[in-house]
Amino acid sequence: MRLCVIEGDGVGHEVIPAAVRVLKALLPDLELHYAEAGFECLERLGTPLPDETIKIAEECGAVLFGAAESPSYPVEGYYSPIIALRQRLKAYANLRPTRYMPVSTARPGVDFIIVRENTEDLYTGDESADDMGASAHKIITRAATERVAHRAYRLARENGRRKVTIVHKANVLPKSDGLFRRVAFEVAEQYKDIITDELLVDTAAYWMVKSPNQFDVLLTQNLYGDILSDMGAAWGGGLGLAPALNLGDEAAIAEPVHGTAPDIAGKGVANPSGAILSVALLLRHHWLMPDLAQRVEDAVRGAIVRGFHTFDIESVNAIGTNEFTDKVIELLNDTPPV
* Residues making contact with Mg ion (CB under 5 A): 226
* Pairing state between β 163-168 and 217-220: parallel
Work out which of 68, 106, 304, 331 binds ligand NAI, going by CB under 6 A: 68
For the bound state, the minimum distance from the C-beta of residue 219 to Mg ion, rounded and expressed in Å, comes to: 18
For the bound state, the minimum distance from the C-beta of residue 290 to ligand NAI, rounded and expressed in Å, comes to: 25
Taking CA atoms, 234 is separated from 102, 126, 212, 215, in Å, by 13, 31, 11, 15
DSSP at 139:
B
Residues paired with residue 111 on neighbouring β-strands, in sequence order: 99
CA distance 284 to 291: 8
Spell out, one character per residue from 127 to 166, where the chain touches ligand NAI: x when CB under 6 A holds, - when not: ----------------------------------------
CA distance 326 to 42: 33
Q: Which does 226 bind (CB under 5 to 8 A by kind): Mg ion, ligand NAI, none?
A: Mg ion
CA distance 141 to 278: 28
Residues serving a catalytic function are 123, 169, 202, 226, 230
Q: Which does 239 bind (CB under 5 to 8 A by kind): ligand NAI, Mg ion, none?
A: ligand NAI
Work out which of 51, 130, 263, 291 binds ligand NAI, going by CB under 6 A: 263
- Position of minimal CB gap to Mg ion: 226
Size of the site for ligand NAI (CB under 6 A): 21
Q: Which stretch binds ligand NAI (CB under 6 A): 40-48, 67-75, 129-137, 146-154?
A: 67-75
Question: Cβ-count burial of 330 within 10 angstroms (0-12 exposed, 13-18 middle, 19+ buried)?
Answer: middle
Number of H helices, E strands in the chain: 11, 12
CA distance 204 to 259: 24
Using rule CB under 6 A, residue 243 touches ligand NAI: no
Using rule CB under 6 A, residue 309 touches ligand NAI: no
Q: Which stretch binds ligand NAI (CB under 6 A): 16-24, 92-100, 130-138, 258-266?
A: 258-266
Contact 163, 195 (CB under 8 A): yes
Which residues of this protein are in contact with ligand NAI, per CB under 6 A? 11, 15, 67-70, 82, 239-240, 255, 258-264, 270-271, 274, 312
